[in-house]
Amino acid sequence: MSASPAFTDMIARLMRALNAHSDAELARALDISPQSVHGARRRGEVPPSWVQLCAEKTGCNAHWLFFGKGPMFLPAGRDGLPPEATAPADSVDMITVPLVEARLSAGTGSMEVSSERGGGHAFRSDFLHRKGNPKRMVLMRVSGDSMEPEIFDNDLVLLDQGQKEITPGRLYAVGFEDAIYIKRIDKLPGQVILRSVNPAYPPVTLDLRGDCADQFRVIGRVLWSGREYK
């Protein structure tokens, strides 16, 4: 499937801002793996965290990076700060998505409890509304390595709990028995197949025509993932 013009243009703007002339150079500049860039090209989606990191590293206008609109670099405002830093808070609508305590497992499927209580992270309102219903969205941390190099242990994932209808090949948080997993899902008549990215974890097929039907549930679709750098 060929990439959309919007995706191709956004990647080109990132590479221009970071002076990257190949996917490998882009990966090094963003401190991610080349496989992550390959995965983004395959999905035709640029993780917003890449844009945020690029803006921090280069001082580029994030709006230009996202949409190609406005100047590449904004002129300095008061006290040498970019104009958006001194603009009214409501000039850009932001929505805080809550961080929930339950930890998703991307490995063994074990349920864990995070030490973090409350809080959350702010996202652009227009980004969240393009993706789904912000009122049904939560953030969770991933535990395990089965989705590496696409999603790493301790990454944050953004879930829309209103999107439970399975689209084959998409990422979902799913529950089975007392465990929570994050997997790509494929469907067959009466069955679902949970697929990992890490080849060390083989696909798991669940037959939903028997007892599994009462034990399997889709928690929500994964819309975004990101990580904190120490």
- Here the CATH number for the domain that contains residue 180 is 2.10.109.10
Amino acid at 46: V
CB 69 within 8 A of CB 61: no
Alpha-carbon distance of 212 to 136, in angstroms, equals 26
Alpha-carbon distance of 122 to 135, in angstroms, equals 13
> What confidence tens digit (pLDDT) does each residue in 87-118 have?
444 446 788 888 887 655 566 554 444 444 45
**Are 111 and 219 part of one and the same domain?**
yes
**Are 125 and 220 part of one and the same domain?**
yes
Taking the complete model, does pTM exceed 0.85, yes or no?
A: no
> What confidence tens digit (pLDDT) does each residue in 143-172 have?
889 998 888 888 889 999 889 888 888 899
**Are 58 and 121 part of one and the same domain?**
no
In a domain, 78, yes or no: no
